[in-house]
Structure formats: structure tokens, C-alpha cells
Chains A and B, each alone.
Chain A
Amino acid sequence: MAVNARQRTLKAFEKIRAHAVSQWEALKQSQEPRILIGTATCGRAAGALDVVKAFQDELAQQDIKAKVTEVGCMGYCYAEPMVIIEKPGWPPICYGYVTPGIASRLVQDFIIGDDPCLEFILGALEENELVPTIFDHPRFKYETRILLKNCGFIDPEDINQSIANGGYSGLAKALGMKPQRVIDEVKKSALRGRGGAGFPTGEKWQICREVAGEPKYVICNADEGDPGAFMDRAILESDPQSVIEGMTIAAYAIGAAHGYVYVRTEYPLAVERAHTAINQAEGSGLLGDNILGSDFSFHIEVMRGSGAFVCGEETAMMRSIEGRRGMPHHRPPFPATHGLWGKPTVINNVKTFACVPQIIQRGNQWFASIGSDGSKGTAIFALAGKVLNTGLVEVPMGTTLRQLIFEVGGGIPKGKRFKAVQIGGPSGGCLPESLLDTPIDFTSLTEAGAMMGSGGMVVMDEDNCMVDAALYFLDFTCKESCGKCTMCRLGTKQMLDILEDITKGQGKIEEIDLLVELGQDMKKGSLCGLGRTAPNPILTTIRYFRDEYEAHILEKRCPALACEELIAYYILPEKCERSCDACVGSCSVEAIYTGKRRIKVIDQEKCVKCGTCLESCPPQYDAVIRLSPPSLVPPSKK
């Protein structure tokens, strides 16, 4: 681009930015208190929309002027619904577990009065002398927020708030560079694809730029199908502009004029916010024809995925965009040379695109300074399962699993023992306690038998059965296998049958080795990543928890007391309080009756093993227990 053209784009952007910043400053300086409420899908599930309404009603009733804004997700899912109140004269204060009742109290006591209601506080967002800050939480020692930095703090439906917080500065800078220099910058940053496989992003762009063929396409993979991962959804719902900007930079670098965001249809809010973001970016001249007055044009369409896990695989996704059955095909040729409609296509994950603007804006050295050798930048994990602080965490690559689970995640609830951590969803593996000091990066995890995958991280404690966990993942991949190649279609089914037998106590000891053999063959013989990684959960659980498989097979016993067919619920007569009817009332199939001396007894024939009685039995009695094998239950006399 000629120098004066470059000046023109920068000038055009400066005008947009100045406007956005002045709006943002006015908002910040305003004497009206601001109430930010996290209403991403996770917040809504916890009742955030009721909280929004409670604030509005209370403000109207008290006749107070305050600005209520719906923002995205800060990632502290365990404390949803979350509210941030910015009141002039006070630091911004973050509240957790807010209910409509707490909302009206906050209006009365804090917004009208001057009592910040310390009992509901999570922490202030700035250092101050009045209230403890959120940074005192141990997790902040480990977290480095790059991709999530704006999530939960800006209105995702207002592009100006994004621009005022650094949005689109990367694009403006990129448009002033030669496309090749943009690619060089990404290459030097050593950014690797965040979709799981970790292919160097710059390399991919380079191949796509150099190969002949017009037009070229950019696709953003937001088909986050891994059950247990939700960071792509959180980013699209909380800071969609960062993704749009990253895609636009990629399009400029490779010379594409058209792009697609492929979002799961199960994420209606993400779809809606992506649409809004695209419309606003077009309205501001940051997307569409002649972006920022330059001769570069780029259009983005949102495509809703229709609930097929395999469409997260890039070649399958492209078939799906073309309107066909989403079945993968053999690679090579890779999408970078033969992609959508057979044209060169760059396809990257949401997080990869969201990294790009900041790399351009802050330089490759800044990005490369974060993380470990070979794996630069941060990793986002969706921490779930048996861990205290569930939610999204963003840590530099190289953080160990132990730090992530015990320091950031707060450890295992109810004083239970850690057993395993499942990383990377159905493609990943289960790692035991002995591997907790493994650093999180692409190579270390693969060596341990797991993989970075999509970033789902499910913590399991002593109550989780590893055979059952393996069965769960295999059941998932078996259902989601598209059926094109034999190894995946039949291999998953065979392994599933064997595992089901084992969990029912009908397994044979030689079947463990058979599973390993089958798994290794599937890894070699499957067409796409789905089949090649599907055996990982089984192979890792056999590798690290073989004794549990053996207990199921040889002793017909489930050590974790989880496999339904191998356990029975039993009420200890000496512990039963007798005058209490909690279990009888809780049983949804009327399987508990009052026996001799008012002791409660479970009718094993009727019991469906739902475990409700175990939870309803008051902790001071703790009379309901599980026994495995079920033959341990003493015969009852009616």
C-alpha cells in the first residue's frame, strides 16, 4: 500500500477510535452508577436475567438513575450470577452468587446508601483501601488474561466499547503493513492453532497465501463440540469483535474476500452476538467493502452448525458449509490448498483468531515472551467436574496441572481425594495423580497420552469410576462417528461393547489387551482426527488405572462405587435414626419402606440406583451406603 493510502486508513481508524474512547470516558466519568451483569449462557442458567430485572425494578421503584449493562462472562462460573457495580467514589466492586433479593439490597444499601454489603463481595477490581481486591485470590497469581481480558467488562453488543479497549487497533496496524509482513509477524510469534492439534498458524497462512487459486476463504471454527469445553462460546458471547478482527487480519494476509464463522446451533446467544458484531463492524467501516477506506474488502457470514461433532474436523466442516453431509475426507490435500469449494482456505479456531489482533498490535516478541518453549502464549481451560472453582481459566503455557487444579481451581470439594483429570474431551486422555506436575503445553500432554484438544478439563475424584469415564467418552464418539471409514465406525462399536460388558461385570480378563490392540489399530487406520483420537480415553485409563479394569472383571466390583450394575444401596440398620423419613420421601420409585422397629429398608428389586436417598439422608446419621459387589447386601426379611 502506498504511503498516503496507509496514512488514510490510520487516519480513518483514529477518528473511529477517538469517538469510541470519548464515549467510553464519558461512561466512566459519569456520575451515574453503572451495574454490569454477566448474562452469557452460563450466567443465564444461574438466573442472571432475573437479576437484571430485579435491578431494573428496584431502580425504577426507588427512582434512581443508574445504567444497567448486560456483559459477557468473566469465567468465574461457580459464582454466577456475577455483578460488577461501578459507583463514583468507589472502586469497581464485583459481587458473586447474586439473587434478585441481593440485587434489591445492593440498590438500597450500596447505590443509595454507602454500605458496599461486604457479605456478598467477591472483591474489588482495583487496588484500594476500602474493600479487599479480587487479586487477593490465589488464582490471580497464575492467571494471565489475554484472550479473556475484555470478557465480562465490556458490552459485547457495543462495538465502541471494544474499540475503546484496544479492539481493531491490530487491524488498523495490519492494514498499514504488507500482507507478507503480517504473516511474518504471526510466524515469529510462534502462535500455534488453538483448536487442539497445534499446527503453526503462520505456516498455514503462508501456504494458503502462496498457492494459486481464487477466491480464497477464511473460516472460523466455532463448532465447539467437545462436551465439557465452552471457552469459544464465552469468547463469542463476551468479546465477539476480537474474533471478527482476527479473521479480517487473516483475510488481509492471505488475500481472501469472504469468510465464514461456523458456530454450533446449540449456542443461540453466540450466534446472535456474532451477527450483531458483524453488523456493527460493517456499520463502522471495519468490515465489508473498502475497509477503513483501503482497497481491501472482506465479508463474513455466520453459518450455524447442526449438531454433528465431526463437523469440528476441518474437512468435514467445509463439506457442511457447502450444504452436504459433514463427512471428512483424506488429507492431504490440506484445506490451505484445496479447501472450501476446492479453493485455498484458512481455517482456524476462535481462540487462534482472537490471539492475532494482539500479536499484531503488541508485537511478536511480546507474545513469544509468554509461555514455554515450543508452546507460546496462554491456554484457556474450561475447568469442570469435581473442582471447587469451576469456570474458565487462562494461564500461560507451561503452568503445571497441579497449579491449575489446586491453586487456580481451589482443589477438590468435600475433602475428597483427587483421582484423575480428563483433558481434551473425547479425544484426550485421563491423567493420574502421578502426572500432576506435567506442564501444560502441546508436547508434554501428547507424551502423557492426553492432548491439548479443545481445552476441556474435567476433574474426577474418588467417586468417579475410570472404566465408566472411558465408556462415556467412547459412547460419545461411537454415536458421533460419521461412518465413512471402517476402523472408526466398527472399532468404536466393538470397543464400546467390550467396555459395556466390563461395567456390567461380564468382562473377560483378556479383553483388556484386546482393547489396547483395537485402540492402536484405530489410531493407525482411521481417516480423520475423530477416529484417530477416539481410543485415547480408553488407552490412558488402561495405562494408568488398569487395576480398576481388573477389579470390574475379576471381582465384579466397582472400586469407585459408580457402575450401576455392580453396586447396591443399603441402609445401615445401626445408623438409621428410625423416626426420620427423609429417604422414604426422597425415593422417586417408592423403593424404601419402613421395616421392623421403624428401620428403613431398600427394596433392591425396585431400586433404580439413583442415589437420591444417599443425598437426602441427614449427614448426622449418614446411614445410606453403597456396596460393591451387590452380593454384599445382607438378605432382608419383610
Chain B
Amino acid sequence: MTKKRPSRKQNVRPDASVAKEAEQIKVHTLDILRAYHGERRNLIPILQDIQAKFGYLPREAIKQVAKSMRIRELEVFGVASFYNQFRLNPPGKHPVKVCLGTACHIKGGRIILEAWERRLGIKVGETTTDREFSLERVACVGCCAMAPVSVVEEKIEGKVSPTRVDGILLSFELEKEKGTDK
């Protein structure tokens, strides 16, 4: 992970692509709202669907939801920020979740989290500048017998060690070099 990748800063993106993305978000959000008849009681499932679509809750989508439900943006934000599931910034291409449930803690989950932080050069909750990896902690993924557990791109990795962390990252590097990366 010593190689430096060009960072993708927001201000280098041309305005046209930003506008296009905003338009996309608007269209999809409207579709999702329609599927739930835009009812207030369905706010959480609606936000869940939006996040499933974009990987996070874009500001534009929150505005859209508030407008169509005729509630304040603040109320939508209040719900979105209350639940751990929702994120307000885009995730990395390969999201890494480190389980810190009881069993994982006992088996050294924190050491694994630190290994990820060290290797990726980011803190928990952050995304690498090239948006390749993001790191999160989760309370428990329910595979306590396999502790310590990390979830890499929805794939559950059991009995992880700091060396395994290096191995996982290496395999991504290799895939990328081969050009088979999705």
C-alpha cells in the first residue's frame, strides 16, 4: 500500500458530471418514493433503499424526501443520523467492516481494526483518498464462533490476523494489476 494513487478531489470533477449525478439521484429517489407512496411511516425503508442504490444518503435525496413528505429536512436528517446504518458520505469501492462484538473483542478484534487502520492509513469511519477502501466498525455480524471477523465487500472473513489483513489487501493489489478488478 505504499504506492501513491492520484486522489480524486471533488473540485476536479467537471460541473457537467456533478449536475448529471444530481439529476440521477433525483430520478432514482423519486422512483423509490413512489414505490412507498411517499408515506411518512415508510421513511426508514425509503432511506434504506436510497442507501442501497447510492451507497450513502446524498444531500439531494434527503431534500427530495423531505419535500415530497412535506416534512422538514431536519426531521429526515434526524432519523438518518440516529441509525448507524446510514452514512452521509460515499463509501469506498471496497468497504471493510470490522466486527467488534463481544467474541471478536475477546479474540483481539481491536488489534485487527488497528491493523486495517495502519495499512490503509485511515481512521475508522473514513474513506481512503482514492475512494478505494472505507473502514467501519460494526457491533456484531453474528458469526461469533469465527472471531475475529472482518467483512470485506460483503464477504465474511473469519479468524482474521494482522497478517491476513496484509494478505487481503495484497490480493486486491494483484487483482488490480491483472486488470480483473471490477
Chief secondary structure at chain B's binding surface: helix
B121 CB within 8 Å of chain A: no
Interface residues on A, range: 35 or more
Inter-chain CA distance A307–B81, complex, in Å, is 11
What residues of A have a CB within 8 angstroms of the CB of B158 in the complex?
45-46
What are the 5 A-B residue pairs with the smallest beta carbon separation, nearest first?
A227-B101, A77-B145, A228-B102, A306-B83, A307-B84
Question: Which one of B3-11, B26-34, B37-45, B171-179 is at the A interface?
Answer: B37-45
Other-chain contact of A233, B78, B86, B142 (Cβ < 8 Å): B142
Cβ contact within 8 Å between A306 and B102: no
Known interface pairs A41-B156, A425-B102. Does A306 touch B146 (Cβ–Cβ under 8 Å)? no
CB under 8 Å from chain A, chain B span 30-69: 40-45, 47-48
B88 CB within 8 Å of chain A: no
CB under 8 Å from chain B, chain A span 538-564: none
B153 CB within 8 Å of chain A: no
Inter-chain CA distance A459–B128, complex, in Å, is 37
Cβ contact within 8 Å between A308 and B84: yes
Other-chain contact of B83, A308, A464, A608 (Cβ < 8 Å): A308
B106 CB within 8 Å of chain A: yes
Cβ contact within 8 Å between B108 and A308: no
5 pairs, CB–CB < 8 Å, chain A vs chain B: A224-B142, A265-B85, A266-B142, A323-B44, A588-B119
Cβ contact within 8 Å between B141 and A588: no
CB under 8 Å from chain B, chain A span 462-483: 464, 469, 472-473, 476, 480, 482
Cβ contact within 8 Å between A307 and B143: no
Known interface pairs A611-B108, A612-B162. Does A228 touch B140 (Cβ–Cβ under 8 Å)? yes
Question: Nearest Cβ in chain A — how far from B140, in angstroms?
Answer: 4
What residues of A have a CB within 8 angstroms of the CB of B79 in the complex?
323-325
A384 CB within 8 Å of chain B: yes
Question: Nearest Cβ in chain A — how far from B11, in angstroms?
Answer: 32
CB under 8 Å from chain A, chain B span 77-124: 78-79, 82-86, 100-108, 111, 114-115, 118-119
Inter-chain CA distance A456–B78, complex, in Å, is 31
Total A-B Cβ pairs within 8 A: 145
Cβ contact within 8 Å between B83 and A303: no
What residues of B have a CB within 8 angstroms of the CB of A615 in the complex?
161
- Identify the A interface with B (CB < 8 A): 41-42, 44-46, 77-78, 80, 224-230, 233, 265-267, 303-304, 306-309, 320-326, 382, 384-386, 390-391, 422, 425, 456, 458, 460, 464, 469, 472-473, 476, 480, 482, 586, 588-589, 608, 610-612, 615
A266-B141, A476-B139 known; 18 other A-B pairs, CB under 8 Å?
A: A46-B158, A80-B145, A227-B100, A227-B139, A228-B140, A229-B140, A230-B144, A306-B85, A309-B139, A320-B44, A321-B41, A384-B106, A386-B106, A390-B103, A391-B145, A588-B115, A610-B111, A610-B115
CB under 8 Å from chain A, chain B span 122-152: 138-147, 149
B23 CB within 8 Å of chain A: no
B166 CB within 8 Å of chain A: yes
Inter-chain CA distance A456–B107, complex, in Å, is 16
Other-chain contact of B48, A225, A230, A306 (Cβ < 8 Å): A306
